[in-house]
Structure 1
């Protein structure tokens, strides 16, 4: 089992390392025990967090309301919860 995500019933909890201000938004592989995600959005006024939640919702095929930032609002290290996704987290590394 991977360290960067865990499933508890319907809820998938992801541990993420975020790099804001990148050229494009993409999964950049693993960074220690976290999934590294590059974000095109700048870390200004919550724009990077907003972009991250949209990217996660699209990646996991769920509406934005089913993605919640649990920890790390002001940090590069974030914990995000995704509810009721049928997509396996490993597929993001593909």
Structure 2
């Protein structure tokens, strides 16, 4: 899968590399072609997954419900989807150092 692959229904899918238990929540940069998301939440009972979708939605300027976890609920590597209109914002976040 490329960084952001088109998906049916006007959505894009993209890979995310999650760093749980970070000092602060932040979205930006890339690692092996995946968007880096740092979350303060621990990876316990879905807390980190919820924090990831919330943080990515905020960074892309979307509602929480617009960002969907599609794969990797138990690992650091996840696949998320968002409306295709967010592609430019996603590319901007990936370009951050």
Q: TM-score when scaled to structure 2?
A: 0.82
Task: Point out 4+ residue stretches in structure 1 off by more than 4 angstroms.
Answer: none
Give unmatched runs, 5+ long, in structure 1. Answer: none
Matches within 5 A, 1:59-70: 59-70=59-70
C-alpha RMSD of the superposition: 2.0
TM-score by length of 1: 0.84
5+ unaligned residues in a row in structure 2: which ranges? Answer: none
Q: Count how many residue pairs are aligned between Structure 1 and Structure 2.
A: 93
Matches within 5 A, 1:1-94: 3-8=2-7, 10-83=10-83, 85-86=85-86, 88=88, 89-92=90-93, 93-94=95-96
Going by fraction, where is helix more abundant, 1 or 2? 2
Indicate the larger mover: 72-81 or 60-69: 60-69
